[in-house]
Amino acid sequence: MGLLDDRVVLISGGTQGVGAAVARAATAQGATVAVTGRRPEPGEALVAAGHAARYVPCDVADVTSARAAVAAVIAEFGRVDHLVNAAGLTTRGSLLDTTPELFDAHIAVNLRGPFFLMQAVVADLRRRGAPGSIVNVITSSELGGQPYLAGYVAAKAGLAGLTRNAAHAHRWDRIRINGLDIGWTDTEGEDDIQRRFHDAGDDWRELAAKRLPMGKLGQVDEIAEFVVFLLSDRSGVVTGSVIDWDQNVFGGLD
């Protein structure tokens, strides 16, 4: 038996990177998976490959679109048992050069979207009197982060706080809500960011790996397996935890 047999899982930002890896892992563990994203091609490719049951067009920055995505999954599959908030915006900006527009974009994608997706899924779980679980993919940068990620850090720190707040509020509903503070991870989005903002070449992954304790960037498939574990009953009663999924020890000093 799979860890997520007969479960319906909705993954925001599920068409690439960590989200797509979670879709593959959850499907392999027996789940019916719906993925959201703004671009249909990668979403439909996941469906065609058998790694998802449904692609739902969605811009999480648009609350109406986010709510409609949850409604579409419920209409087709009858319910949502688990939510993974994996959509994210990492556009660079420091405290001094972040515009109001960029700040608002970070809040919209990295905080407001997850908030209202959680609201819609928790409402469905409570309506049915059913248990469920949510995992928010956050970032280790929410603990302080780099100077060029000011807006991103502000929004993701808010998501970490929201994770704890919602977990506390809904523990008696048997809805478990946890987060992962992931570190530097090898994704398509990170490749684009490194090339656009840091003048990185084709060897940036190899150069980065040499600077990391374990000699490699975080891998999406490894993160996905951990997310599936947290979604599943195998993780027991754990709720309200924001787990450092990283190779650096925060608070440790050399």
Which of these is catalytic: 55, 115, 116, 152? 152
Interatomic CA distance for residues 23 and 91, integer angstroms:
24
* DSSP helix/strand/coil, 60: coil
Helix then strand count (H, E) for the chain reads: 9, 9
Q: 230 to each of 21, 202, 234, 243, how far by Cα in Å? A: 15, 34, 7, 11
Record the tokens describing residue 198, joined without a space. 């840091």
Sign, CA dihedral 249-250-251-254, equals positive
208 with 148: CB under 8 angstroms?
no
Is 152 an active-site residue?
A: yes
Quote the distance between the C-alpha of residue 122 and its chain's center.
17
Q: How does 186-207 read in b/e, with b if 16+ C-beta sit within 10 Å?
A: bbeebeeebeeeeebeeebeee
Who's near 45: CB < 8 A, 6+ residues apart?
none
Give the residue among 1, 247, 12 at the shortest CA–CA distance from 134.
Answer: 12
Give the residue among 175, 187, 86, 89 at the shortest CA–CA distance from 130.
Answer: 175
Residues involved in catalysis: 152
